[in-house]
């Protein structure tokens, strides 16, 4: 079977396409024939050797895929060959056949395209847990989403609207404002201004009657994080998802005290590994909302497996709007 292989950490362009032996499932495992694989910002970090968990070299990147189960290991009775699933792994998804834990596979709704399924795992789960578990979102609240046109950002905007909230989309360039509105944003917050420290708060206050945002989901860090902390409402909740802007911010604790603010972090893979049943519940709800027409996959472009480097370059160069997917 064909697989993308990194023989050393570095630029995505260093990846090679190789023929490897097909995997054999062990107890509690399945092998999935990949039809589509989601490409995510963490994949770029893994390839470059900057992720918190480094796989042993050589390795195949990729954290999520959709396809059909082709074989099951001992003790697996919830799946059978031919079942259509979305599966998640720590790495290895960018291959024609992928080994996955049976408890980390999710049944696809009837008629759902594999490309859509591959785009509605990691980013939607991240947005779901950031919004509900870490952010404590309640219907009627206002949520500020930074990096709103990235994969997590667009998923978060859609979820806020599907669950009865007001969505504020923070965009780093106004050319992406229409995409944010199409994903459900009620208001656009411009993150490109020179006076971001006060300008972000002024914009948020202008559309919330000076109350501020109840929740902020932040995959950026850096200056947008600092400014968003000043735009939170009393008892606001900041959820740290990542640092795509490059700088890991330092929190001024007096902000927390003065406005009763809570700041929490979200590590997606911990939910996958520590609470698979909870992950399955969340994914079932995500698929249900998709079936009801309240969520849609945000697939910007698809690439063949051998063009993984091009797909990751779109993310690296911050040209992505929504998701990119590899088709196998």
pLDDT of residue 193: 79
Identify whether 289 is part of a domain.
no
Q: Residue by residue, what is the 3-state secondary structure of the chain? A: CEEEEECCCCCHHHCEEEECCCCCCCCCEEEEEEEEEEECHHHHHHHHCCCCCCCCCCECCCCEEEEEEEEECCCCCCCCCCCEEEEECCCCCCECEEEEEHHHEEECCCCCCHHHHHHCCHHHHHHHHHHHHHCCCCCCCEEEECCCCCHHHHHHHHHHHHCCCEEEEEECCHHHHHHHHHCCCCEEEECCCCCHHHHHHHHHHHHCCCCCEEEEEECCCHHHHHHHHCCEEEEEEEEECCCCCCCCCCCCHHHHHHHCCEEEECCHHHHHHHCHHHHHHHHHHHHHHHHCCCCCCCEEEEEEHHHHHHHHHHHHCCCCCCEEEEEC
Give the number of domains in the chain: 2
Q: What is the pLDDT of residue 255?
A: 84
- What was the pLDDT predicted at 320? 84
What is the pLDDT at residue 298?
A: 87
pLDDT at 318: 82
Question: What per-residue confidence (pLDDT) applies to 252?
Answer: 85
What is the per-residue pLDDT for 269? 85
**Is the domain of 253 the same as that of 194?**
yes
Same domain, 132 and 256: yes
Q: Which of 268, 285, 307 is the last residue of a domain?
A: 268
- Domain assignment present for residue 287? The answer is no
* Domain that includes residue 10, residue range: 2-120+297-327
Q: How much is the pLDDT for 285?
A: 96
CATH code of residue 113 = 3.90.180.10
pLDDT at 72: 97
pLDDT < 50: residue spans in the chain: none
Residues 181, 65 share a domain? no
Same domain, 108 and 49: yes
Alpha-carbon gap, residue 275 to 125, rounded angstroms: 13
Within-domain flag for 279? no
> Both 31 and 158 in a single domain?
no
What are 186-233's pLDDT values in tens digits? 999 999 978 899 999 999 999 999 999 999 999 999 999 999 999 999
What CATH code is carried by the domain that includes residue 197?
3.40.50.720
The pLDDT of residue 322 is 86
């Amino acid at each position: 079977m064909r697989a993308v292989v990194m023989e050393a950490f570095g630029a995505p362009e260093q990846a090679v396409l190789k023929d490897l032996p097909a995997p054999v499932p062990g107890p509690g495992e399945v092998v999935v024939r990949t039809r589509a694989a989601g490409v995510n910002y963490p994949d770029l970090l893994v390839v470059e050797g900057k992720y918190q968990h480094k796989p042993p070299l050589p390795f195949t990147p990729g954290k999520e895929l959709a396809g059909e189960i082709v074989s099951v290991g001992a003790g697996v009775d919830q799946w059978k060959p031919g079942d259509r699933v979305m599966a998640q792994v720590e790495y290895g998804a960018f291959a024609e056949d992928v080994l996955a834990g049976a408890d980390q596979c999710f049944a696809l709704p009837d008629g759902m395209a594999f490309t859509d399924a591959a785009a509605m795992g990691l980013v939607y789960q991240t947005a779901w847990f950031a919004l509900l578990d870490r952010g404590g979102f309640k219907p009627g609240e206002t949520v500020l989403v930074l990096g709103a046109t990235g994969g997590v950002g667009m998923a978060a905007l859609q979820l806020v609207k599907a669950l009865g909230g007001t969505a504020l989309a923070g965009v780093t360039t106004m050319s992406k404002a229409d995409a944010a509105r199409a994903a459900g944003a009620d208001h656009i917050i411009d993150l490109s201004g020179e006076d971001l420290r006060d300008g972000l708060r002024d914009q948020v206050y202008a559309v919330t009657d000076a109350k501020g945002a109840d929740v902020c989901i932040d995959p950026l860090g850096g200056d947008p994080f600092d400014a968003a902390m000043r735009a939170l409402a009393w008892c606001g909740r900041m959820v740290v998802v990542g640092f795509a802007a490059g700088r890991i911010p330092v929190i001024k604790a007096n902000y927390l005290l003065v406005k009763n603010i809570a700041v929490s972090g979200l590590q997606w893979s911990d939910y996958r590994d520590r609470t698979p049943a909870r992950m399955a519940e969340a994914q079932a709800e995500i698929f249900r909302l998709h079936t009801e027409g309240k969520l849609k996959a945000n697939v910007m472009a698809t690439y063949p497996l051998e063009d993984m480097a091009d797909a990751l370059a779109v993310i690296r160069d911050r040209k992505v709007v929504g998701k990119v997917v590899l088709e196998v």
